C-alpha cells in the first residue's frame, strides 16, 4: 500500500496498510483483498470497482453512502460468506488490487517534481468521493480530480487539507423552498483514513501558533491511487474545546475560526510535511486559503539564520498559486484586529513588524484602509500564478494589475491553465463501454489527442441515441424516487407527491441546472418570465423537464432566496410532474445528473464564472451545453457543439438579466426543443446526435484533467530560466 514517493518514512503509509490488515482480519479469508482495496480510493475510478462492493449488499452499499469501509464493517455475516464463495467476484477483486499495485511503480519525475521531492498540493477542500464529505463544490471537485489524474499520470504529488469532523452541511429545503442546514459528524475510523504515527508509534502531531496559543494537530492519511492526501485534525485533548472546533466545519461561519482554518492549512501543512521528512520541490496553493505556506517556509529559513530577503526569495521560488474566482466572497478580506488575534506573533517570527506584514495582503500596500486578503499574498509569494480558463486569466490580470503598477494589464504575470475533469471518474459506465467499443484500444491513455476522439463520428447514430435514452431513463427513475422522498419530507401536498410518483418521462427533453446557489450563477433567470416558462414547461408538442439542485452557503441569504424563487415553479401547471429540486447536491447526485441530462444550462453573470466544470462532465456523457460564453465555455463553444448566450458585459445588470433570460428562452423554444424532437423514420433525432458527436469530438480532448495536469507539469511545475515567461503560463 505504501508508495515509492514516501517509502520508509513515518508518513502514515504503514498505518494505512495496518488499517486494511485489521479490517481484513475480521473478514472471511478470501475477502482480505476487499479490505485492501477499500483503503485506496483507486477503486472508485476503475471499471467495475464500485460493483465489487455493491455486489456484497446493494442496499447497504447505498445506505453507507458508497463507503467501502462502513460496508465491510456493517455487512452481515451472511452477505460476507456469500461473497467469499463467489470466486468470480473475488477473482475480479484480485485483478483490481494488482492494478493498484502496478500503479505504484509508475511515479516518475515531472517538471521540478521527483519521487523524492514531490509537489505539495494544498487546498481547503477535496472532493475525492461522496463517502469522504470534506468538500463544498467546484473547487473541491477540481482538487480531487487533480489528485486522481496525478496518480494516473504518475506525477509525484502529496496533498494536504483539513479533516472537517462535520464536513460541509447537509441541506433540506422546506415547503417554501427555504434552505435549512444540518450537520452529521464524520467518524474518521469509518472512512478509508489512517492516523499517521511517529517512530514511537504515537500519533504524529505538530503545533501551530494560533490565537495566542499553540494548537496541536494530528494527521490522517487517505490514499488516492498513488497520491497520499494528508488531513490535519485539531480534535486533540491538548486543545481547548473552542480550538478543537477549528477543524469542525468547512467554510465555517465564524470569521475568526475560518481565518484560523486557513492559517492552520498554510502553516500546519508545511510543518506536518517536515515532520514526516517530506521536502516538496513545489508548493501549489490551490486558491488563497493556504497562502501562509510560503511564509512558513521563509520562517523556517529565518530561524536557521538565513536573512529575510534570501528566505523570502527561496520560498517564492518554490511556490505556485492558482486563483479560482473573481467573486468577492472568494477573496475575503480580514481587518487588522482579526489578523492580530489569529496570527499573534507569526509576523514577528518572519522578521516583520505588523504593518509590513499587513501590506503583504493588500493590493495597494500603503492603503491602511485595505483589508488583508489571501489572494494578493498568494500572488506576491509565488513564482507563478494562474487563473483557470483563458477568459479568467484575462479577468485576473485586470483584477490584480494594481499589484504590478509598472506593468500594463496584458503583461501582468498571471497566466491560465483551463480546468478539466477526470475522465474515468465522470464517464458513466455505459458511456465508457460505448467508447471502449468504438475508440481505439487504450484510448484512455491518449485522451488528450484529438485523433483519439475522431472515431466518435463513425459510431452509428442509433447507438448513440440508444445510449442517451438509456442514461436519461436511469436518471428519470432515480429522480422519481428522490422527488417523492424529498416532497414527503417537505410536507408537500398529496397532489405534489403523487405528481412526482407518476411524473417525469423517460422520453422528454431533460434539462439540468445544478450548482452552488451563489447569486452570480443567476438562477432567477430560469423563472424571470413566468408566462414563457409556463408555456415551455407545459408544452404538449415539445415536453421539457427540469432537474434542479444546489446548496447555498448557510450565511448567504441571497443564495437561499434564489432557491426559494425556483419554488415559484410550483404554481405552473404540470410543473409537479416536470420540475424537481433534488436536495443535497453532492458528488453522487452530480454523477447521475451529468450522465442523464440532455441539456446542461449555465447562466453566470459574465465575467464571474472563472471556469465551471460540470458542463465538461456533461460533454463526456453525450449531453449538450447551453451556457453564457464565460469561463470554459467561452473557449469551448464553436457554433455547432452546443448553444451559447453572449458573454459580453452589459453595464446595467438588470438590462443584462432581461436580455440574457430572453436569449435563453428563445434558444430553448426555437433551437433546442425543435432539434431534440425532430425525429427521422427510425425515431432518431439525427441533427441532435450530430451535435452530440461534435461536442464529444471537439471538447473531449480539451477539457480532461489529463490535459490540465500536463499543463501544470509543463508550464507551472517546471523550471524555466526566464521567470517572467514562466509566470505567464499560457497567456
Ligand X SMILES: *Cc1c(COP(=O)(O)O)cnc(C)c1O
Among 166, 171, 486, 614, binds ligand X (CB under 6 A): 614
The one segment of 88-96, 213-221, 575-583, 611-619 that binds ligand X by CB under 6 A: 611-619
C-alpha 469/C-alpha 194 separation (Å) is 42
CB 629 within 8 A of CB 623: no
Q: How far is the CB of 217 from ligand X (least distance, A)?
A: 27
CB 143 within 8 A of CB 126: yes
CB-wise, 93 or 479, nearer to ligand X?
Answer: 479
**Residue 123 found at the interface with ligand X (CB under 6 A):** no
Q: How far is the CB of 451 from ligand X (least distance, A)?
A: 27
The one segment of 62-70, 246-254, 613-621, 677-685 that binds ligand X by CB under 6 A: 613-621
Q: How far is the CB of 624 from ligand X (least distance, A)?
A: 15
Contacting residues for 28 by C-beta, under 8 A, at least 6 apart: 80, 81, 83, 84
CB-wise, 82 or 516, nearer to ligand X?
Answer: 516
Q: Closest by alpha carbon to 323, among 179, 123, 170?
A: 123
**Residue 606 found at the interface with ligand X (CB under 6 A):** no
**Residue 44 found at the interface with ligand X (CB under 6 A):** no
C-alpha 405/C-alpha 88 separation (Å) is 66
The one segment of 181-189, 322-330, 573-581, 583-591 that binds ligand X by CB under 6 A: 583-591
Q: How far is the CB of 449 from ligand X (least distance, A)?
A: 24
**Residue 221 found at the interface with ligand X (CB under 6 A):** no
CB-wise, 510 or 614, nearer to ligand X?
Answer: 614
Q: How far is the CB of 134 from ligand X (least distance, A)?
A: 13
Q: How far is the CB of 548 from ligand X (least distance, A)?
A: 13
The one segment of 80-88, 136-144, 285-293, 641-649 that binds ligand X by CB under 6 A: 136-144
The one segment of 54-62, 453-461, 610-618, 669-677 that binds ligand X by CB under 6 A: 610-618
Round the CA-based radius of gyration of the chain to a whole number and report it: 25
C-alpha 342/C-alpha 282 separation (Å) is 27
**Residue 613 found at the interface with ligand X (CB under 6 A):** yes
Q: How far is the CB of 384 from ligand X (least distance, A)?
A: 23
**Residue 125 found at the interface with ligand X (CB under 6 A):** no
CB-wise, 141 or 508, nearer to ligand X?
Answer: 141
Contacting residues for 512 by C-beta, under 8 A, at least 6 apart: 546, 547, 593, 594, 596, 597, 599, 600, 601, 618, 623
Among 111, 118, 138, 192, binds ligand X (CB under 6 A): 138
Q: How many CB atoms lie within 10 A of CB 652?
A: 9
CB-wise, 264 or 634, nearer to ligand X?
Answer: 634
Q: How many CB atoms lie within 10 A of CB 720?
A: 13
CB-wise, 15 or 586, nearer to ligand X?
Answer: 586
Q: How far is the CB of 115 from ligand X (least distance, A)?
A: 30
Contacting residues for 508 by C-beta, under 8 A, at least 6 apart: 543, 544, 545, 578
CB-wise, 89 or 629, nearer to ligand X?
Answer: 629
Joined together, the cell numbers standing for residue 540 give 404538449
Q: What share of the chain is helix, strand, coil (3-state, %, to 5)?
A: 50, 15, 35
Q: How far is the CB of 273 from ligand X (least distance, A)?
A: 28
Q: Quick one: how far is CA 300 from the chain centroid?
A: 32
Among 159, 173, 427, 590, binds ligand X (CB under 6 A): 590
**Residue 585 found at the interface with ligand X (CB under 6 A):** yes
The one segment of 300-308, 466-474, 574-582, 608-616 that binds ligand X by CB under 6 A: 608-616
Q: How far is the CB of 13 from ligand X (least distance, A)?
A: 29
CB-wise, 600 or 688, nearer to ligand X?
Answer: 600
CB-wise, 270 or 587, nearer to ligand X?
Answer: 587
**Residue 586 found at the interface with ligand X (CB under 6 A):** yes
Per DSSP bridges, beta strands 170-173 and 599-602 are unpaired
Query: What are the CA-CA distances from residue 129 to residues 7, 670, 678 (Å)?
Result: 25, 39, 39
Contacting residues for 217 by C-beta, under 8 A, at least 6 apart: 205, 206, 207, 208, 232, 233, 234, 236, 247, 264, 268, 272
Q: How far is the CB of 703 from ligand X (least distance, A)?
A: 11
The one segment of 296-304, 442-450, 585-593, 649-657 that binds ligand X by CB under 6 A: 585-593
Phi, psi of 628 (to 5 degrees): -65, 140
CB-wise, 6 or 614, nearer to ligand X?
Answer: 614
**Residue 141 found at the interface with ligand X (CB under 6 A):** yes
C-alpha 302/C-alpha 296 separation (Å) is 10
**Residue 607 found at the interface with ligand X (CB under 6 A):** no
Among 299, 468, 515, 553, binds ligand X (CB under 6 A): 515
Q: How far is the CB of 138 from ligand X (least distance, A)?
A: 3
**Residue 167 found at the interface with ligand X (CB under 6 A):** no
Q: How far is the CB of 137 from ligand X (least distance, A)?
A: 4
CB-wise, 301 or 609, nearer to ligand X?
Answer: 609
**Residue 612 found at the interface with ligand X (CB under 6 A):** yes
Q: What's the CA dihedral at 51, 56, 58, 64 to 10 degrees?
A: -100
The two counts, helices (H) then strands (E), for the chain are 34, 20
Helix, coil or strand: residue 219: strand
Q: How many CB atoms lie within 10 A of CB 550?
A: 25
Joined together, the cell numbers standing for residue 378 give 498568494
**Residue 137 found at the interface with ligand X (CB under 6 A):** yes
Q: Closest by alpha carbon to 185, among 138, 243, 229, 245?
A: 245
Question: Euclidean distance between the first and final Cα of the chain, in Å?
Answer: 40
Joined together, the cell numbers standing for residue 368 give 491602511
CB-wise, 319 or 614, nearer to ligand X?
Answer: 614
Q: How far is the CB of 589 from ligand X (least distance, A)?
A: 7
CB-wise, 327 or 470, nearer to ligand X?
Answer: 327
3-state secondary structure 152-200: HHCCCEEEEEECCCCCCCEEEECCCCCEEEECCCCCHHHCCCEECECCC
CB-wise, 243 or 586, nearer to ligand X?
Answer: 586
Q: At what angle do helices 429-438 and 461-489 cross, to 10 degrees?
A: 170
CB 484 within 8 A of CB 501: yes
Q: Quick one: how far is CA 294 from the chain centroid?
A: 24
The one segment of 133-141, 178-186, 240-248, 539-547 that binds ligand X by CB under 6 A: 133-141
Q: How far is the CB of 588 from ligand X (least distance, A)?
A: 9
Residues in contact with ligand X by the rule CB under 6 A: 137-138, 141, 515, 585-587, 590, 612-615, 617
Amino acid at each position: 500500500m505504501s508508495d515509492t514517493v514516501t517509502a520508509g518514512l513515518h508518513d502514515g503509509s504503514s498505518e494505512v496498510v495496518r488499517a486494511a490488515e485489521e479490517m481484513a482480519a475480521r473478514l472471511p479469508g478470501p475477502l482480505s483483498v476487499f479490505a485492501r482495496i477499500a483503503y485506496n480510493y483507486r477503486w472508485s475510478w476503475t471499471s467495475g470497482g464500485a460493483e465489487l462492493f455493491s455486489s456484497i449488499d446493494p442496499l447497504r452499499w447505498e445506505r453507507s453512502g458508497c463507503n467501502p469501509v462502513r460496508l465491510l464493517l456493517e455487512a452481515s455475516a451472511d452477505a460476507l460468506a456469500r461473497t467469499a464463495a463467489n470466486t468470480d467476484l473475488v477473482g475480479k477483486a484480485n485483478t483490481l488490487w494488482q492494478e493498484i499495485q502496478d500503479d505504484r511503480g509508475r511515479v516518475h519525475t515531472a517538471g521540478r517534481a521527483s519521487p523524492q521531492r514531490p509537489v505539495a498540493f494544498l487546498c481547503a477542500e477535496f472532493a475525492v468521493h461522496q463517502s469522504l464529505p470534506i468538500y463544498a463544490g467546484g473547487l473541491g471537485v477540481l482538487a480531487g480530480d487533480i489528485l486522481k489524474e496525478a496518480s494516473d499520470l504518475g506525477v509525484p504529488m502529496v496533498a494536504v487539507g483539513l479533516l472537517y469532523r462535520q464536513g460541509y452541511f447537509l441541506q433540506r429545503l422546506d415547503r417554501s423552498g427555504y434552505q435549512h442546514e444540518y450537520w452529521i459528524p464524520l467518524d474518521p475510523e469509518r472512512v478509508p483514513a489512517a492516523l499517521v504515527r511517529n517512530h514511537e508509534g504515537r500519533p504524529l502531531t505538530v503545533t501551530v501558533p494560533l490565537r495566542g496559543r499553540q494548537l496541536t494537530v494530528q494527521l490522517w492519511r487517505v490514499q488516492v491511487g498513488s497520491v497520499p492526501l494528508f488531513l490535519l485534525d485539531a480534535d486533540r485533548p491538548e486543545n481547548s474545546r473552542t480550538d478543537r472546533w477549528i477543524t469542525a466545519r468547512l467554510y465555517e461561519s465564524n470569521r475568526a475560526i475560518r481565518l484560523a482554518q486557513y492559517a492552520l492549512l498554510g502553516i500546519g501543512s508545511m510543518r506536518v510535511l517536515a515532520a514526516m521528512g517530506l521536502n516538496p520541490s513545489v508548493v501549489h496553493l490551490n486558491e488563497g486559503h493556504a497562502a501562509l505556506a510560503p511564509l512558513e517556509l521563509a520562517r523556517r529559513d529565518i530561524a536557521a539564520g538565513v536573512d529575510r530577503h534570501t528566505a523570502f526569495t527561496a520560498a517564492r521560488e518554490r511556490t505556485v498559486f492558482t486563483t479560482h474566482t473573481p467573486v468577492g466572497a472568494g477573496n475575503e478580506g480580514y481587518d487588522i484586529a482579526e489578523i492580530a488575534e489569529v496570527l499573534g506573533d507569526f509576523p514577528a517570527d518572519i522578521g516583520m513588524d505588523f504593518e509590513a506584514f499587513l501590506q503583504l495582503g493588500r493590493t495597494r500596500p500603503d492603503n491602511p484602509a485595505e483589508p488583508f486578503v489571501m489572494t494578493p499574498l498568494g500572488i506576491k509569494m509565488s513564482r507563478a500564478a494562474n487563473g483557470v480558463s483563458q477568459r479568467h486569466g484575462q479577468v485576473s490580470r485586470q483584477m490584480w494589475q494594481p499589484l504590478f503598477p509598472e506593468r500594463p494589464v496584458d503583461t501582468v504575470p498571471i497566466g491560465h491553465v483551463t480546468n478539466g475533469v477526470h475522465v474515468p471518474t465522470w464517464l458513466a459506465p455505459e458511456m465508457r463501454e460505448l467508447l471502449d467499443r468504438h475508440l481505439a484500444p487504450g484510448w484512455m491513455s491518449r485522451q488528450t489527442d484529438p485523433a483519439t476522439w475522431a472515431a466518435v463520428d463513425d459510431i452509428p447514430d442509433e447507438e448513440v441515441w440508444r445510449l442517451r435514452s438509456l442514461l436519461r431513463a436511469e436518471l428519470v427513475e432515480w429522480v422519481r424516487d428522490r422527488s417523492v422522498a424529498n416532497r414527503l419530507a417537505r410536507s408537500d401536498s398529496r397532489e405534489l407527491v403523487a405528481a412526482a410518483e407518476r411524473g417525469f418521462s423517460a422520453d422528454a427533453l431533460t434539462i439540468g441546472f445544478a450548482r452552488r446557489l451563489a447569486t452570480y450563477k443567476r438562477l432567477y433567470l430560469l423563472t424571470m418570465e413566468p408566462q414563457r416558462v409556463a408555456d415551455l414547461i407545459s408544452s404538449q408538442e415539445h415536453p421539457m423537464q427540469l432537474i434542479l439542485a444546489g446548496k447555498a452557503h448557510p450565511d448567504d441569504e441571497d443564495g437561499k432566496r434564489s432557491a426559494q424563487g425556483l419554488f415559484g415553479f410550483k404554481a405552473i401547471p404540470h410543473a409537479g410532474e416536470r420540475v424537481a429540486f433534488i436536495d443535497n447536491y453532492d458528488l453522487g447526485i452530480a454523477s447521475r445528473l451529468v450522465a442523464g441530462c440532455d441539456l446542461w444550462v449555465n447562466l453566470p453573470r459574465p465575467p464571474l464564472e472563472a471556469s465551471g466544470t460540470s458542463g465538461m462532465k456533461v460533454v463526456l456523457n453525450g449531453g449538450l451545453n447551453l451556457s453564457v460564453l464565460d469561463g470554459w465555455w467561452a473557449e469551448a463553444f464553436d457554433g455547432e457543439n452546443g448553444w451559447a448566450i453572449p458573454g459580453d458585459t452589459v453595464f446595467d445588470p438588470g438590462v443584462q438579466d432581461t436580455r440574457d433570460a430572453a436569449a435563453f428562452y428563445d434558444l430553448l423554444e426555437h433551437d433546442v426543443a425543435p432539434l431534440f424532437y425532430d425525429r427521422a423514420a427510425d425515431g432518431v433525432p439525427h441533427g441532435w446526435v450530430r451535435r452530440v458527436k461534435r461536442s464529444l469530438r471537439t471538447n473531449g480532448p480539451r477539457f480532461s484533467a489529463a490535459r490540465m495536469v500536463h499543463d501544470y507539469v509543463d508550464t507551472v511545475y517546471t523550471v524555466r530560466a526566464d521567470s517572467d515567461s514562466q509566470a505567464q503560463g499560457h497567456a
